[in-house]
Every structure is written in structure tokens, then in C-alpha cells.
Structure 1
Amino acid sequence: MAPSVARAETLCPPEMVPIPAGAFRMGAAGELSEEAEARVRLRPFCLGRREVTNREFAAFVAATGYLTVAEQPLSTEQFPGLSDDERRPGSVVFRQPASGEPVQELSWWQWVPGADWRHPEGPGSSIEARLDHPVVQVALADAEAYAAWAGAELPSEAQWEFAARGGLRDQVFSWGNTWQPDQANTWQGEFPRTNSLADGYAGTAPVGSFPANGYGLLDMTGNVWEWTLDWYRPGHDRLAGQEDPVLTDAADSSDPRDPGVAKHVIKGGSFLCAPNYCSRYRPAAREAESPDTGTSHIGFRLASQPLDAPLETHG
């Protein structure tokens, strides 16, 4: 039988917060269909206190020479019908519609050649004054490359959601059941036309500009969406239907569909989420995103096993 291990306190790497073991109800009954509830148990783990910043990502690139997905031409295999000019490096950027301009669903997203993590809105934009903002325009592979370099990993969806709840049980938001716009960087006004900027930010905010949740984690609501390791499925299919909570430290790493259309789970909402659109700034909320696509509102944070975690033993 495995030996019992006692520990006084979970030890985590610098800038990571210890998240205790626990069981919780993942998802939200009565909300969106993809949020169908499942009972989950988690072992202790560590999670980044904040999102990875431009400053930190720049250090990674300087040390490794890494080239992000957005800095490389589009693949001829994935986009065989495009000309060389159309395959130029770039990424997806939010553009607020002009006053009076007709607005069609998702028309506010534009492919911008030259948009990348150094130039989040395209050529002419810069991160020089945003070194302490979360890095954006990073695809899943970019986030995973940074995590490997840092000796960490991305969190699973279950880990991310449990941590976002901050120790609260079955509450709508990270701080309780009542929406409080001063708790997070989100959109104030009618998306996508009017933003009052009541929180002081039209886009990303420096990490830690808003209150921490009950675990001391910053920006688990709003600012930028965050990558997780899980492939997206309509609901928590692999976890549901169990009488007892499912012990799950691992992400759903099995691709559920054709790799060309399969997507990954992102969590937390962003500065573009508003009560009239998206509103997925609840811990239970989830969204599907193509793993090969970065945008101006998706970033990530790191996770790891505790430094004092016992080695697995048998017998």
C-alpha cells in the first residue's frame, strides 16, 4: 500500500499560489448547455498568481529565440488557396465599429498582417508601455512552449475553474452572486459600439489592477481569456454521470474530432465581455478557440505540481 504523507503546507514555485485539494461542482446548472455540471475532485496544485506578462514573454523569447505562430507565414497545407501575400504573418485583432456603422456578428474581428505579441493591434502598435500587461496574440503552442521553458504547464479546465472560484461554493462570480464591475477589467456599455471606459481601460490592464479572489489569484475574471489544456467538448462529457466526484488532475488531451476543426477550452472572459454580449466572465463559463489562433484578447497563466508533492510509489 502507498505510504501516507503528511505536509504542513503546500510549497509552490515563486509567483505561484497553492490551491488546496477539494471537491466541487464544475459548471453551472441552468446556464448554457456546454456548462452542464459534473462533480470533480482535485489534488493540491499550484497556479500562477497572475497572467504571464509581456515582460516575462520577452525574456523567454530573448533566451530562446522562439518565434510565435503569428510571426510565421500561414501554412500552405492548411490554407492551400492563399497567395504568398495572403499568407503573410499576422493575427486576429478586435476593431470597434465606428459610430453608425452597421454591425454584423463577429465583424469586429479582423485579420491584420503584422499583428503579433509585440504588436498586439498590428503594425504601429507596441508593448513598450504595456510590459506589465498580459501577453496576447499567443496560440496554444506558444503558451505551451513558454510553460515548458519555465518548467511548468498550463492548467486543466477543472484546475482553472476550481481556482477561479477562490474557495467559494456554487457562487456565480469569483467574489459572490452579484455582478460587480469594479472587480474586473470588462466592457462597460453596449458591446461592441459603446464603451464608457469606467474602469479606465479600453483594452488589457496591467496584471493585478483589480482585487484578488479568495485564493489570492489576480485577473481570474476578465482582462484576457486564458488557455487551458483541455480539448473543447459540448459539456463536461468525460466527467459527467458519476455518482461520486471524479478525481481529475489531468486535462482531456484526446482530440475529440478532426484536428482541423477541434478547439481548446479558454476560460475567464476578457476586456471585451459585457452583460449584453459574451458575459462569460463567470468561473463556470467556457469558450472554444482554435489552438492555432492567437487574438488580441487571449493570454495564459502557468500551473505546476507542488514542490513538496510526494513521488508516486507502488506496493
Structure 2
Amino acid sequence: MYLYLYLCTVLSLTSSVFGDCGCGINRNDECDNGINPSKKYTREVNDLSTDNNERRNQDFDTSSMVLIKGGTFEMGTNKPVFETDHEGPLRNVTVNTFYLDKYEVSNQQFYDFVRKTGYKTEAEAFGDSFIFEMSLPEEDRDKYQDVRAVQAPWWVKLKDVSWKHPEGPGSTIESRMNHPVIHVSWNDAVKFCEHVRKRLPTEAEWEMACRAGLKQKLYPWGNKLNPKGQHWANIWQGEFPKNKYG
């Protein structure tokens, strides 16, 4: 089964020198061969200057990226909410300096990639994808009890859903070209990365960037769910997935 999620996490791109992906410690032997699966998708960055936050090799534009300085941080937790996510145990992981995209990959960027390469996503090839049930009209949500993800029933599989038609054949991205592209798989993300000469971040790189220098906090800003005067993406308040507040 393939589940197509928002690219705000899937396609935050890096151009970096490699560090430890952190998965060799507690990922059920997934990485016990010591190979970082992202390595083969990376264009090596030469002459990286961490003193002035600039790359001397100017043929690679990093104006839309942010430099994340390498170091050792506490990855994971000893109090995981979902055991199956393998977020524990807490351990120290060292990551080298890398660049990370500031923004999600947009529909416009993905459209340009498809137009230039003729690439066809897996959702288009399979003829279906999953959409969040709250995207459906309320009166239609009970019609799809047999086509839901087993462990995440709020994802409903529908035909003719793709990045170009995010809610089905009657929907379009014409007014959402600056929105994050959705309904792409890991394989689709890798192909996009190859095209723009970047790669996907490792799990450790992503967590290090998201922690924003804090230690064992629930959110990049601290432990409070909704800090006053701040707005963040991907934060759900209420009984998931039934209600959303704030």
C-alpha cells in the first residue's frame, strides 16, 4: 500500500556533506550495513565555509536554503508516544554541516520538473491515492469505510487522485501553485531531488533542524502546544481527526 503525504516533510532538500543518519542504532537493523540510503542521491559540496555561511563554489544556488551547522544532538526520546515509530531510545547523534530548503516544494516547482522531464508519479501510474477524510464533503465520509488505511483510517483511497488533482478529478492546483505539492511517493521525491541536484535529508538531519537547538522539547519553540501570537503548520488541536480548533 502506498500512502501519499504532504511534501512539507518529504521534500525539504539538503545539499550537504554526510553525517550519521542515526538509524543504525535503533531501527530494527534497517541500516545495519552502515549505508546511508540518501548518499547516492547527493551532489558533493566542495569548499563549504561554516565561518561565513557561504559556499565558495557558486555554481550551486543556496539562496533559498539555510545552513545548518553540524554537531552532536540528542535524537529520539525515552518516552515515545507511539512505540511502533521507533523514536527511542534517546541517543547522541553527530551530524555534519548541511543546507536545508527554507520552504516546501511547491506545485509550481513540481510542475516545472514534470514539464521538463515528462515524469509520471506513482499515484498517476497506479490510478489512485489517499486523501484526508476531512477533505471530503461531510455527507460523503461514511461511503468509504472499505477503502481506508488500516492503521490510519482517516486516509481514504480514491481513484484519479494525484498531485495535479489533489481531491480527485474535479479538483485542480491552478489557484494553488505556491502551495506544497502533495500525493507524491518517496520514489517521486527522489526523482525530483535528482533533477534539482539535491537529495532528501536523513532522519537525523531533519530532526536536528526541527529541534532548532533545543533539547528534549515537544516543539521547536518549547513544550506549549499553542504559543501566544505564533502560527505553525501541521499542528492539530482537538480530537484527531474529528475536530480541529484554533
Please report the TM-score for the alignment, with normalisation by the length of structure 2.
0.65
Structure 2: which amino acid aligns with 1:64? T
Task: Please name the residue that 1:45 is paired with.
Answer: 98
Equivalent residues in 2 for 1:130-169 (5 A)? 130-169=176-215
Aligned to 1:193: 242
One of 70, 83, 89 as aligned partner of 2:123: 70
Runs of 4+ residues deviating >3 angstroms: 97-107
Q: Is the 8 A contact 2:50 2:69 kept in 1?
A: no
Partner of 2:87: 35
Which residue of 32, 35, 52 maps to 1:9? 52
What is the Cα deviation at residue 101 of structure 1? 5.9
Distance 1:184 1:107, change over 3 A: same
Evaluate the alpha carbon distance shift between residue 106 and residue 21 of structure 1 in structure 2; reply closer, same or farther with a 3 A threshold: closer
Q: Which residue of 1 is the match for residue 109 of structure 2?
A: 56
Counting aligned pairs with the same residue, the percent is 36
Q: How many matched pairs? A: 178
Unaligned runs of 5+ in 1: 74-88, 199-315
RMSD, aligned CA: 2.6
Q: Is the 8 A contact 1:171 1:177 kept in 2?
A: yes
Q: Is the 8 A contact 1:10 1:44 kept in 2?
A: no
**Is residue 24 of structure 1 aligned with residue 73 of structure 2?**
yes
Query: What does 1:1-315 correspond to in 2, within 5 Å?
Result: 7-11=50-54, 13-32=62-81, 33=83, 34-36=86-88, 37-73=90-126, 89-96=127-134, 98=138, 106-180=152-226, 182-185=230-233, 186-196=235-245, 198=246
Contact 2:80 2:87 in 1 (8 A): yes
Higher relative helix content: 2
Unaligned runs of 5+ in 2: 1-47, 56-61
Distance in 1 separating the partners of 2:151 and 2:100: 35
1:137–1:28: structure 2 CA closer, same or farther, 3 Å change rule?
same
